[in-house]
Chain A
Amino acid sequence: MNVIARSTLSGAAFFAAESKGATKQSPNRESGIASDENRPRNDTRIFHPSSFIFCSMSISIGAASAGMGPRSAIEDFGQYKEDRAFDFYIVARLLEYLRPHWRRMAAALALVLVSSALTLSAPYLIKIAIDENIARGDAAGLAQVALLLAGVFVAIYFATAALQYLLSWVGQKILATLRAQLFRHLQKLPLGYHDTHIVGVTISRVINDVSVINDLLSQGVVTFAGDAVVLIGIVAVMLSMSPKLALITFCVLPLMMLATWLFARQAQVAFRQTRARIAAVVGDLAENISGMRVIQAFAQEEETQEHFDEVNRANRDAHIAAMTLSFIFLPTVEFLGILATGIVLWFGGLAVIGDELTLGVVVAFLAYVTRFFQPIQELSQLYTTMQAAMAGGERVLDLLDTQPDVRDVVDAIEMPPIIGRVELRDVSFAYRGSATEDAEARMSFRAEREISSVSPVAPNYVLRDVNLVVEPGQTVALVGPTGAGKTSIANLIARLYETTDGAVLIDGYDVRAVAQRSLRRQTGIVPQEPFLFAGTIADNIRFGHLDATPREIEDAARLANAHEFIAALPDGYGTAIQEGGVNLSVGQRQLICIARAALANPRILILDEATASVDTLTEMLIQDALARLLAGRTAIVIAHRLSTIRNADLICVVNDGRIVERGRHAELLAHGGLYRQLYERQFVESQ
């Protein structure tokens, strides 16, 4: 019978396991990123109860090629916490997401019941056709049954189509909702979160983990209900038709469960191995491609090839080993299916000969037997889905539960137009739970590695009792060794972090008392590493001021000395920025960032001076642009090269989290302290 159902499944499994998205259409398990590619999808688990029946005879024969492939054991790419099959708290919270769709889910459940019942009724109708019509020569009755059967199939079609559509709709809706919710949440999280979490990992939360959860919610719940109903229904029908034959047939069940269980365990390990191996191939290849210049420069092509060959071979062997498992498992399952069929034929046949049973019962039994194994396979697969969803769910909920530590207070006021007086009053600051020396370095864009090993020890102050007043329009330069706390001061002024003690005041307003957005809208930042978004140059310049006119964009670019080179590009302002801005030089990217800040026209500007070296002439362009940008604004400049800050109204030398010297360039030189040391070192070295 359910040859047809099976073959659909087998087709799906076969494609899912094989072609990795090359052929399989799947609404829920799209593979958007590479790591996801290796994951087979099993959305076809949605019922195909329309499968029929009389063909039951064919049973697994020939058709049972791949009913339940390795897919049952494949989970997400990525490491799961194992042994966590069920966590009530997580499930309860996840189920919340079904609540808005309860009507649709209720309808889906009803449809499952209907289509299961209809599917189960088909073999029974055939039994009637054989025993009561064909055997007795009742042609009219046969016609009636055939029509009834056709009607059942039509009903099954509609029920299945509606069910499939409903479930996909709900599933995709939940996916979209979860992703939107996560994205919103990520916008609220402080920079500290972004500094300490690998971007790729966060992406995987939003893209992969979410879809695993969806599998459980939209498919799993209904699959479970449907399978349970089918299983109970079949057991009941079989028992009612012939208790004896039913009980004998059920003997195969433990064997099937054992085989499935054994395979699932082995396969989980084996397929995890294949994912690790292909990841190694990708990793090695990616590294070699990006390092190809070095490889060629050092004439190491052969050695690299040998290493790649090793990784490549390991991948091949792991795949063959994993697939071999399913080549053992699938025939085993097929054999067990045939064994059950043999039991039915043998004992049923004897019963028919002994006139204890009718032939129709045997035929119906054959249909039910095949149908019987499918829910068991699916339920075992559901267990895997559940495991995956538990792990994924836990990670997603963790992310959603991460509290932003910079938050608007309840009665936050809108920051009025800023005049530009900045004051730091007894400010101390410690990064939460981190005690590393490189806290400041971590805050740069580069530091994306996860710093999880940092123990939450007593706060390690990056800044201590800092007092500073900047009058409107002044330029203050912060200088000092790496890790001294310069960047922290700048971040606190923009309220990217919250002070641990003391207060930051802008025009007399405590920054904690005002709404973050109203504050940041009036502050600008030019980051150390010029970050450009994918998009056009114009998009990047107008980033802080979305409704800027082309004219305004061009003016900003002119101010930033960027207009000339932009205009010289083939597409001008419409030039698309490639990944990471690689099609522009570092200097050009810096100029665009300056233009961006200029267009946003902030009252307070924070400038993290770039350290990357650019050629001398570009450097001059940048300095010139910065001088214009800074004019008339309150500016905090984190200076790495002393040559750029001679004209600052105030220079603060930061060391060990304190401002140790302050004054103008000439005063500080005359003072003969740390500033003079730093200055002389740079001066000497450029001789």
Chain B
Amino acid sequence: MHKEAAIREPLILGHKTYHDITNDVCHPIEDKAPRMWYLLFTIAAIVGLYGVGNILYLLGTGIGTWGLNKTVGWAWDITNFVWWVGIGHAGTLISAVLLLFRQKWRMAINRSAEAMTIFAVFMAGLFPLIHMGRLWLAYWVLPLPNQFGSLWTNFNSPLLWDVFAISTYLSVSLVFWYIGLIPDFATLRDRVKNPLSKRMYSLLSFGWSGRAKNWNRFEIVSLVLAGIATPLVFSVHSIVSFDFATSVIPGWHTTIFPPYFVAGAVFSGFAMVQTLMLIMRKAFRLEAYIHTKHIEYMNIVIMVTGSIVGVAYLTELFVSWYSGVEYESYAFINRFSGPYAWAYWSMMTCNVFSPQLMWFKKLRRSMLFTFIISIVVNIGMWFERFVIIVTSIHRDYLPSSWSMFYPTPTDIGVYIGTIGLFSVFFLLFARFFPVLPIAELKTILKSSGESYKNAPDDHH
């Protein structure tokens, strides 16, 4: 019943019991927060508030405070939007796709990866909203009856598809995450001592009692949600890529965009998961649950998706030449040799070269190396979006409108601010929510826990 091949490395190290799992996950929530948490939270909150200030200034003054000009009408805003959406892809991929493939190692990381997804998509959604300039008219993106005719939203436009894709993705991810959290909130409800916490977790756990029928439904709901979230993950970044691919701009008008964007999104999302996990496992002493094998699995995903992205870059170059369209050829020659060549080559180094180092087993099992690469990959993926967006439009058809993009302090402030806000959300999550799925981890203890795995067959 609980047997698994002995040559597979155990997923839960040490001699853990069910009670140990509960304790290990709940302790960081019940204990006093370490001083480091307060320090990080303060820094994140200051940076986040600086971002909020910049956004308010932008809304009050207008998007002229960004460095956009007549030629480069999309720059950091959309770069940041696509970057955050991409990061937001790992969570649902880990919990949905890996659930369908019955990958048990996902259980060490799915809870925090989903949280990361939700917060990243919040940050992503912010950019199109503030790019509207008049935030209070944001409801115009919805097909609501109105007094203009009545004039509907244009369902032929990829920008509207994006509205539907991002909002569906955000809300479905949130539901998926919360349904998994309910039983774990019940665990916390039944063990915390502080009456205020007890009330809070009582409210959050919706009165979950763990009846057999509830668990039966729980498993089916998770499976069906995973089944429909899987195509959703792929559709969302495909639709984001349609924003560019359905245009007639050389450099954007590319049919390989959807798969290439999806691979890039998974690539950057997993890198962000690595960055956060490596810090969290140390801070919360969760080394028994998130260990070298998990890091290695994620590094393999990073290596594979990084290679897909690399092939896509080279295909783009080849096709631009092979197509014989001079505008296309120029767009790509300009990318690697024009004024933004530095951005192109940083992207190539970070995204194509660095993940190839993961072929070495020593490197992909090294925590320090993984941490560095995970940050390098996210820098590279930011540059990828910048390169695609800005280098394709800064050379217009008319040389008289050729231009460059220079970010203003508001551009930088809003971007840095979203990193701060994201960190604020994630730190709050790590402080008050169970960071590992307690109930799900217990289901794999007997099959993948170290002490059960190689024990004599006394259970079944």
Whether chains A and B associate is: no
